[in-house]
Amino acid sequence: MVNKVNKDEIEKLKKIAKRVRYKIVKMVGLAKSGHPGGSLSATDIIVALYFKIMNYDPKNPYKKDRDRFVLSKGHAAPALYAVLSELGIIEEEELWKLRRLEGKLQGHPSMDTPGVEICTGSLGQGFSASVGMALGCRLDKLNNYIYVLLGDGECQEGIVWEAAMAASHYKLDNLIAFVDRNKLQIDGNTEDVMSLGDLKAKFEAFGWDVFEIDGHNFEEIINTVEKAKSLKNGKPKMIIAYTVKGKGVSFMEHNVGFHGKAPNEEQLKKALEELSE
């Protein structure tokens, strides 16, 4: 049974997401380097997980039976860092030192950073690691979930499908994955670079339960995860979340140019103004 999400909770999540987007743009702008587009598209999913869905205590982020989140699309690290700062795990001042020698935050997630479960960045490896985590937690008889977020361009990697096959083989219904389906990768539209076709049918063919949602609709995100958790059928779960690259900044939305390019000073000022409204 899926519970209807309280409207006040949704508004709270929207406010957090806006602050997270502000931090993403600011830290990438100050670094003059990074990946704003995919960080902005993934924001609502990560916010929903940490602030509503996951069994996760920011005061005890390494509790053994915690739910775990793996950012397999590691280039979206600014989104994760911003969320961890909202939780009080990372000091906000560290965000403004992103990718700098005097700072602690690397361009891709590193386990040196509090709250980061595993180093990611080489596409597909985070997804594979999440399969291992799900299997390990089941062997330890932990009643928890492993959540993992992939990019859609990432799904062109062969290692993703090896992991998908393994998760189905080991009947890992404690694994819930998301694909950030913004349809843009560094070289252009995913369907032009290497067509993903019917992604839902592909994962279903590998033995997964698959759902499709609006990745910017908090109610859909939360309710779909609850539905996925209710299906104790030995199948891993995949949620294909349709999103907008650069979501929240007018000139970054649907703009592949901001996949891996920081805004200049003028663009940074405009973006921060939009996210302050």
Which listed CATH number (3.90.1580.10, 3.10.450.50, 3.40.50.970, 3.30.70.20) goes with 7-275?
3.40.50.970
In the prediction, which pLDDT does 3 show? 54
Spell out, as residue ranges, where the chain has pLDDT lower than 70: 1-4
Cite the DSSP H helix spans in the chain. Answer: 7-31, 36-48, 77-86, 92-95, 125-139, 158-169, 190-194, 199-205, 218-230, 265-276
- Summarised one tens digit per residue, pLDDT across range 72-127 is 999 999 999 999 999 999 999 999 999 999 999 999 999 999 999 999 999 999 99
pLDDT in tens, 1-22: 345 688 999 999 999 999 999 9
- pLDDT for 4: 66
Q: What's the chain's average pLDDT?
A: 96
Global model pTM greater than 0.75: yes
> What is residue 93's predicted lDDT score, i.e. its pLDDT?
96
Identify which of 239, 259, 126 has the alpha carbon closest to the alpha carbon of residue 178: 239
Nearest CA to 56 out of 69, 37, 39, 38 is that of: 69
188: DSSP letter: E
Bridge pairing between strands 175-181 and 184-185: unpaired
Name the residue with tokens 């993934």: 42
| Domain chopping of the chain, boundaries | 7-275
Classify strands 175-181 and 146-151 as parallel, antiparallel or unpaired.
parallel
